[in-house]
Structure 1
Amino acid sequence: MKEVRMLSGFAVKAAPRIVPLAGQRVALRLNERRLLRILWTTAAVLIAVGFWGIYSKTFLPDFFARDLVWSLTYLNGETNLPALFSTLLLLLAAAVLGVIALARTAALDTYRSVWTGLTVLFVYLGVDEGASLHEKLIEPVHDLIKTEGIFHYAWVVPYGLLALTVLVICLRFLRHLPRATRNGLLLSGALYVTGAFGLELAEGYVHTLMGRDTFIMEILITIEEALEMAGVILFITTLLHYIRIALPDFELRVGLKER
């Protein structure tokens, strides 16, 4: 009930009293199939529209909003729809990894530090994708070791070493996982690395040989982005499957407490 008080001749309504609701819970349920369907569909649409934008800008005469569509959907662009989607994909993967890391830490699992490390790695990859941090390494690395040809995009050198280091560190961790999870993680990693590194090496060669503004380069960029998106979505799929089979009773609670 609201109270009305008189203050210097003015009627002031007191704020309604907040009654704590003890024991209240809100269940957040994830529809795995619907989420994955949305992710795959969004990726397919972005790749298709992005390639159409590249094709129309390269071969077709100008038409209404052509350059706008191209800028919003260019697959190698920054601060546009594909870049935003790729960033969110990596951060979603980091969130799922974080849930698993919490569960494994609570259970004092032997590999809890690996799950936590992978979470941190994917948070960084998400930030890197959004801010294009890796591209800022091209000139310093190029000046340091004079890369050219397939290593024209010199960031692949330190990042390639990082990827190899992560694989070596995770070998024993991968062996202990269920076969389906292990195979899913390896396949998703292979897709992502093929896109992020393999196609980048091919683009470096084409850039050196033919220049940057060629349709062959744009085809390689399209394949690269498609492989990266497919790799991350398959990675998320594998993690969700792992949660379902390995952590069937896992429950995440969120609460606040005073210090």
Structure 2
Amino acid sequence: MQIKLSLSPGAVVRYLMIAVVFFTVVSTGIQIAKYVFDYRQDWMSLWNLDRELNFPSWFSTFMIGFCSILLKIIATGKKEQGDRYTKDWQLLSLIFFWMAIDELVSIHEILIIPQLSDDLHLPWFLHSLWVIPGMVFVAWFARRYIRFVRHLPPKTKKHFVSAACVYIGGALVMEMVGSYFAELQGQQHLTYALVATVEELMEMVGMVMFIYGLLYYLGEWAKTLDLRIDILNL
């Protein structure tokens, strides 16, 4: 059985950005209600961008997982064509799969150990220890994929690089800024909450940009997309 799927990158991005704006506005309103008006209810954690296992984190997990699927589709097509960069696409799909898992269960937050940071006398921007392996990974990734990025069409290259810059700016740079305010005043105040909101916003926007880039690339690479679905009755 074959399914022909038609997607408009612009339409997909519009719907995703509506969700991003919605979650950001609601989360900001919750932070203001909490720290300005001292209004605190259990349901608020379900919409807080700086919390896990809630609606915003599930939405982010969905977007990252969607990227993994799109990358897998591209990798499959590249393999059939005997493309030299097939393994790069396959590895990207795997990386995004594990990023989705991490987004869902927050594995990286195991490394947020304030006491250890103090014992090691680390600077304020390394207060969240996970940014150290995060920076190492970004350096490795940039070195590993520089040739791959160079071979991409100009517009796709622009989409991918812009998305990476926005996402990394949120995940690492804003995390460091948040560490400064956490070190200065703790995490239970409005300034830190708003910084954390900007961090999550940048991550979501970066992922939307990457989804657009992937769909745009697919649209240029193959005007129609044929998916073969095999259902095995075991």
Q: Do Structure 1 and Structure 2 share a fold, with TM-score over 0.5? A: yes
Distance 1:200 1:25 in 2: 44
What are the ranges of 5 or more consecutive residues in structure 2 without an aligned counterpart? Answer: none
Once structures 1 and 2 are overlaid, which stretch shifts more, 92-101 or 138-147?
Answer: 138-147
> Is contact 2:5-2:224 (8 Å) kept?
no
3-state DSSP class of the match of 1:147?
A: coil
1:80 aligns with 2:50: no
1:183-228 deviations in Å (ceiling 9; x for gaps): 1111000000000000000111111122111211011011111100
Note closer, same or farther for the CA distance 1:240–1:73 as it changes in structure 2 (3 Å cut).
same
What's the % identity of the aligned pairs? 27
Q: Structure 1 residues 31 and 181 mapped into 2: Cα distance closer, same or farther (>3 Å)?
A: closer
Deviations 1:35-79 (A, max 9, x none): 2221110010000000000101111254xxx52442111111011
Q: CA deviation at 1:31?
A: 4.3
Q: Is the 8 A contact 1:90 1:123 kept in 2?
A: yes
Tell me the residue number matched to 1:224: 199
Distance 2:207 2:226 in 1: 25
Deviation at 1:143, TM superposition (A): 8.4
Which structure's relative contact order is higher, taking Cα pairs within 8 Å and 6+ residues apart?
A: 2
5+ unaligned residues in a row in structure 1: which ranges?
Answer: 1-23
One of 163, 183, 186 as aligned partner of 1:211:
186
Name the counterpart of 1:161. 136
Structure number with the higher helix fraction is 2
1:33 aligns with 2:7: no
- Which residues in structure 2 correspond to 1:1-259 (within 5 Å)? 25-62=2-39, 67-139=41-113, 142=117, 146-256=121-231
Check the 8 A contact 2:35/2:190 in 1, yes or no. Answer: yes
What is the TM-score normalised by the length of structure 2?
0.92
Q: Once the 2 structures are TM-superposed, how far is the Cα of residue 145 of structure 1 from its aligned partner?
A: 5.0
Q: Supply the distance in 1 between the matched residues of 2:75 and 2:158 (Cα, whole angstroms).
A: 20
1:239–1:141 Cα change, 3 Å: farther
The residue type paired with residue 82 of structure 1 is: P
Residues of 1 paired with 2:229 and 2:170: CA distance?
37
Counterpart AA for 1:229? M
C-alpha distance in 2, partners of 1:176/1:144?
45
Secondary structure of 1:170's partner?
Answer: helix
Aligned equivalents of 1:252 and 1:220: distance in 2? 42
- The root-mean-square deviation of aligned C-alpha atoms, in Å, is 2.2
